[in-house]
Amino acid sequence: MPIVRQSESKRAETPPPPPEPLAVPVPDSHTHLDIVGGEPAAGIEAARAVGIDRLVQVGVDLESSRWAADLADAEPAVLAAVALHPNEAPRLADLDSALRAVEELAGRPRVRGVGETGLDFFRTGEDGRAAQERSFRAHIAIAKRFGKALVIHDRDAHADVLRVLDEEGAPDTVVLHCFSGDREFAAECVRRGYVLSFAGTVTFKNAANLREAAMITPPDQMMVETDAPYLTPTPYRGRPNASYLIPLTVRSLAATTGRDLDELCASISATTERVFGGWSAAS
């Protein structure tokens, strides 16, 4: 996702209507309630009303990561992931200090992911890529140190993401957030045991590559997400996204893969719980 605060965004004002609820609940594995805006409790309740009963709130800088960790402590339906977004790393005057702060947050019990981290060669040019890669390697180490899932942002950097993971040694659990590759890249990620998280982009008319990737992704390596407020699924592309729209993406994945909707929902739920752990306070 781009780094942009709600006050800076140009999101359309009218939210889409709620879709038909899912019979089997699933989590939104990646959202940004702080950027969606409004009261988080209202967004959580709107999602719950259509069968999205658990959320992972994801940080992209120190401010949003602290916010995510605090929200997860306050809301039983929310877990957190914390990190410096790859486009944030080159902007920081003291990257090492920021990474130490991320490491401190990663030790909190309801922080279950380290991300979104990774590489973005679309928004960051050659001059910033060394800092991106150094930050990515540090996040890999943090995820391994705490036994947390590594949540990867990968934009136009597939081969380099795999290279860095190979060189550092991947954590036990790796998630390709908002999977953006083709069938061949998906096959490579599946072979390595990584989890592919599909966003509303899989519903886009011009995203045949994502649907082909979804078709070869085993159910136990598939999750679903919004990346809200971005990437709103068809037929509401361009309008503000939120967790309550996940049923549109799940139904598209079921149609694409030929899987029974309820069985796919159950599998996505189980995979997400395996990746992030249970949402109950005792988990």
For 51: left if phi > 0, alpha if psi spans -120 to 50, otherwise beta; the answer is left
Q: Which residues does residue 195 pair with via DSSP β-bridges, in sequence order?
A: 175
Report which of 51, 1, 115 is spatially closest to residue 262, judged by C-alpha positions: 51
Return the pLDDT at 108.
Answer: 98
SS3 content of the chain, % helix, strand, coil (to 5): 45, 15, 40
The pTM of the full predicted model, rounded to 2 decimals, is 0.93
Return the pLDDT at 4.
Answer: 39
Domain extents in the chain: 22-276
Handedness of CA 3, 244, 256, 162 (dihedral sign): positive
Return the pLDDT at 1.
Answer: 41
Residues 6+ apart with CB under 8 A from 250: 22, 26, 224, 261, 264, 265, 268
Q: What is the mean pLDDT of each run of 10 residues along the chain (283 residues)?
A: 40 83 98 95 98 98 98 98 97 97 98 98 85 98 98 97 98 98 98 98 98 98 98 96 98 98 98 96 47
CATH 3.30.450.40 given to domain 22-276: no
3-state secondary structure of 94: coil
Return the pLDDT at 5.
Answer: 40
